[in-house]
Amino acid sequence: MNVMSETEKFSVSEIFGENVFNDAVMQERLPKKTYKRLREVIEGGHDLDLATADVVAHEMKEWAIEQGATHYTHWFQPLTGVTAEKHDSFITAPMENGKVLMSFSGKELIKGEPDASSFPSGGLRATFEARGYTAWDCTSPAFVRHDAAGATLCIPTAFCSYTGEALDQKTPLLRSMEAVNAQALRLLRLFGNTTSKRVTPSVGAEQEYFIVDREKYLKRKDLIFTGRTLFGAMPPKGQEMDDHYFGAIRERIGAYMKDVNKELWKLGVSAKTQHNEVAPAQHELAPIYAECNVATDHNQLIMETLKKVAGRHGLQCLLHEKPFAGVNGSGKHNNWSITTDDGINLLDPGSTPHENIQFLLVLTCILKAVDEHADLLRASAADVGNDHRLGANEAPPAILSIFLGEQLEDVLTQLISTGSATHSLKGEKLETGVKTLPDFMRDATDRNRTSPFAFTGNKFEFRMVGSQASIAQPNVVLNTIVADAFAEACDVLEKADNFDEAVHDLIKKYATEHQRIVFNGNGYSDEWVVEAEKRGLPNIKSMVDAIPAYATDKAVALFEKFGVFTKVELESRVEIEYETYAKTINIEAKAMIDIAGKQIVPAVIKYTTNLANSINAVKAAGAADVSVQTELLSETSDYLSEVKAALAKLTDVTEKGAELAEGEEQATYYRDVVKAAMDELRAPVDKLEMIVDKDLWPMPSYGDLIFEV
């Protein structure tokens, strides 16, 4: 079959955003007065009134029906890690003639009422306290999603309890965006900027993922139940040759990527970059930047689309941070910057950073923010899957540090040592030694893939975030700690008699006091672990150790200062995090018990029985030496005994863990005791996989999964 001849042709510019009720659609369909009023609401100038909402709802419904929609849903992001939705049709009560009206009111647009007690709430909602509300986030455009259920109008919303506490990712994110906006505007006014009206954090989230054959996936209970392989011996080849990274994309994967892009473009998601990642069967998709809350919504759409489209191609998308032991796991690089409504990027150093005083203040404020709240940033990227990769010589270390590069580090060194910076390092002409290659200037600094928080030209790249996690929480923390640093700087500068001297002194003070957080070296090295300890930087190795950062007095004061979280909301999230950790490990342990007991042990017994029968038959014939077979039988039987003992131990400790009270104690037990027992069971099973006949082994191997796509 000629794949190219059957490839559907389409224009990206024509389909982009066709399923989105975006600004262009609103401007075209809404009355001028309504459109103007809604824009004022979106830009933060007014509250939304019901009369405006009614007009918007009607036009949104009419547009959605034209797209084929029969239902609408408030699309929200509870604390489950995935999105949630409840579908209602546009149908109203039947008329006398037996027909029905299709309607959608402003009240239905603005507010929904899902059951709040059935989502994680950390004690904020009990079973008998079911009421919760979803509220329209008009700053993120509604969209129509087409799938097997038909066409559905999806309205991005926030989700809160009856008593007002945030039960979702969106609400605190919007609060944090308001906080950084207010404090950044204070700072800009001090520098004489009177034209910028709004400052918005912008985010571009790179998404890594694995793709495997769905038929093989369905033969792996561990992948089905947990998203990762709990058993599996390494194939003869892994990623040693580095030949998959940026390699030619296989046709089956290319066809999948094409459909993913098309789906995303229709939804207004600016999917731009796609390539093979380091590990076999691993890939990456990266969009263009968007405003922080829109980027968060878009990343959820990206993950949903990656999984949905994979099924159409007989594939399965794995978003777990570590689906396969022994090869690189997946992350999600969160590229963060702050930009004004009139196009000024506060993280753009310009061609002479040493002279850009506003940039240097912003930069040193961020150094201060990350240094003082490294534990919170680490906690924001903590999840169970990420424990398998952070600090594992494939991802950023678990120690927070900032890479600035040679140019900016040199500027800060000048400021610290002499009190002033007089020059900036420049890029030089790149010499390739080939006359036919074009000449160009190389950058003034290299990149550092081992840094968890790296300056990359006009943004910071937070590289700790896990591949299946929402980017909301890292950005909530990042926005809030930067807002706090800006606020403290403004408190000083607004009282200064001489602004120029005061800002110069403050930049030097922040650079000096927080230079320990700057590290341009190899974050994977053992030497850095020792050096970081000398500097007093926290090395938080697991999710369980990271969780308490949310509930410290310091964290509570920070988040309450800007109205991002209340103490009660923070305490509820701590409870949810501990519970999530324990439940996740419990599911993994029970899956191992099930797979080992029902699949692996019977397969090995069958193999040893066949082998013993063969040995006895040969012995009876008296025709050959059976020492090799006997040795193999003995080795296999020994491993089987190890499996039996480890299985009994894992069963016992898992049952005991389930009996513990939920919270830190239970989560710690699952980390220290249950996970260790899981490792003890896996070790002999993986050895047996290398011995038992492939035809008898009950599941596809690593080689089958990552090389046969």
Classify residue 160 by its DSSP letter.
Answer: E
What are the angstrom distances between the C-alpha of 141 and each of 26, 76, 145, 155, 161?
10, 13, 13, 7, 23
Give me the pLDDT at residue 99, please: 75
Q: What is the pTM of this model?
A: 0.94
Question: Which of 223-227, 244-248, 698-702 has the least mean pLDDT?
Answer: 244-248
- Amino acid letter, 230: L
Place of tokens 């678990």: 398
Q: Alpha carbon of 307 to those of 72, 215, 264, 317, 324: distances in Å?
A: 22, 15, 12, 5, 18
CA distance 614 to 609: 8
Three-class SS state of 554: helix
Distance in angstroms (rounded) separating the CA atoms of residues 576 and 125: 12
Q: What pLDDT was estimated at residue 3?
A: 42
Give pLDDT, residue 53: 94
Phi and psi of 68, rounded to 5°? 100, 5
Find where tokens 């090295």 sit: 525
CA dihedral of 119, 120, 126, 130, whole degrees rounded to 10: -20
With cut-offs at 50, 70 and 90, classify the pLDDT of residue 293: very high
Mean pLDDT (whole number) for 2-23: 77
What pLDDT, on a 0 to 100 scale, did the predictor assign at position 548?
A: 97
Q: How far is CA 548 from CA 153, 361, 571, 576, 577, in A?
A: 39, 31, 9, 12, 10
Which residues touch 616 (CB under 8 Å, ≥6 apart)?
none
Asked whether 276 and 149 are in contact (CB, 8 A), the reply is no
- Sign of the dihedral defined by the CA atoms of residues 249, 254, 260, 264, in that order: positive
Contact (CB, 8 A) for 420 and 414: yes
For 455-482, the pLDDT digits (tens) are 988 999 999 999 999 999 999 999 999 9
Give alpha helix (H) positions in 355-471. 357-372, 374-380, 405-418
| Average pLDDT, rounded, for the chain | 91
Radius of gyration over every alpha carbon of the chain, rounded to an integer in angstroms: 28
The confidence score (pLDDT) of residue 554 equals: 97
Angle at 465 between CA 464 and CA 469, to 5 degrees: 160
Q: 332: closest CA among 210, 454, 226, 209? A: 209
Closest C-alpha among 348, 454, 330 to residue 402: 454
Contact 205, 295 (CB under 8 A): yes
The amino acid at residue 28 is E
pLDDT (tens digit per residue) in 520-536: 998 888 899 999 999 99
For the segment 554-594, what is each residue's pLDDT rounded down to a tens digit? 999 999 999 999 999 999 999 999 999 999 999 999 999 99
Reference 585, options 671, 663, 651, 653; nearest CA is 671
Whether 433 has a pLDDT exceeding 70, the answer reads no
Cβ atoms of 551 and 574 within 8 Å: the answer is yes
Q: Nearest to residue 132, comparing CAs of 165, 173, 99?
A: 165
Residue predicted with more confidence, 708 or 194: 194
Percent of the chain with pLDDT over 70: 93
Q: What was the pLDDT predicted at 442?
A: 55
Contact between 212 and 281 (Cβ < 8 Å): yes
Instruction: Identify the burial level of 624 via C-beta atoms within 10 angstroms of its C-beta, where 0-12 means exposed, 13-18 middle and 19 or more buried.
Output: exposed
Amino acid letter, residue 538 = P
User: Which one is predicted more confidently, 260 or 121?
Assistant: 260
- Residue pair 666/660 in contact by the 8 Å Cβ criterion: yes
pLDDT bucket at 4, cuts 50 / 70 / 90? very low
Q: Residue 56: is it exposed, middle or buried by C-beta count within 10 angstroms (0-12/13-18/19+)?
A: buried
**Structure-token match 């006091």, residue found:** 513
Which DSSP symbol is given to 550? G
How far apart (Å, rounded) are the C-alpha atoms in residues 656 and 585? 13
Residue 2 has pLDDT above 50, yes or no: no
Q: CA 376 from chain center: how many Å?
A: 16
pLDDT at residue 245 in the model: 78
Q: What is residue 5's predicted lDDT score, i.e. its pLDDT?
A: 40
Tokens representing 459? 């943004």
Pairing of strands 402-403, 453-455: parallel
What is the reported pLDDT for 415? 80
> Residues near 526 by Cβ (< 8 Å), separated by ≥ 6?
none
Backbone dihedral angles phi then psi of residue 566, each to the nearest 5 degrees = -90, 165
Q: Are 297 and 269 in contact, with CB atoms under 8 Å apart? A: no
In this prediction, residues 106-125 reach a mean pLDDT of 83
**Residue 24 · residue 6 · CB < 8 Å:** no
Closest CA to 585 of 666, 681, 646, 675: 675
Cα angle for residues 559, 562, 565 (degrees, 5° grid): 40
d(CA 379, CA 546): 5
Inform me whether the pLDDT recorded for 437 exceeds 80.
no
pLDDT digits (tens, 9 = 90+) for 632-678: 999 999 999 999 999 999 999 999 999 999 999 999 999 999 999 99
- How far apart (Å, rounded) are the C-alpha atoms in residues 303 and 307? 6
Kindly tell me if the per-residue pLDDT of 123 is higher than 90.
no
Q: What's the mean pLDDT in 275-303?
A: 94
Residue 674 is predicted with a pLDDT of 98
CA distances from 100 to 87, 94, 142, 387, 397 (A): 18, 4, 25, 54, 60
Query: At residue 393, what are phi and psi to the nearest 5 degrees?
Result: 55, 30
Structure tokens at 615: 């040995």
In one-letter notation, the amino acid at residue 392 is A
Neighbour-count burial of 551, counting CB atoms closer than 10 A to its CB (0-12 exposed, 13-18 middle, 19+ buried): middle
- pLDDT for 145-181, tens place per residue? 999 889 999 999 999 988 889 899 999 999 999 999 9
Helix (H, G, I), strand (E, B) or coil at 78: strand
Q: For the chain, first and last CA: distance in Å?
A: 18
Least Cα distance to 71 among 136, 149, 158 occurs for 149
Residues 670 and 158: their CA atoms lie apart, in Å, by 33
pLDDT at 431: 62
Tell me 247's DSSP state. Answer: P
Name the burial class of residue 557, with classes exposed (0-12), middle (13-18) and buried (19+) by CB atoms within 10 angstroms of its CB: exposed
Q: What's the pLDDT score for residue 240?
A: 67
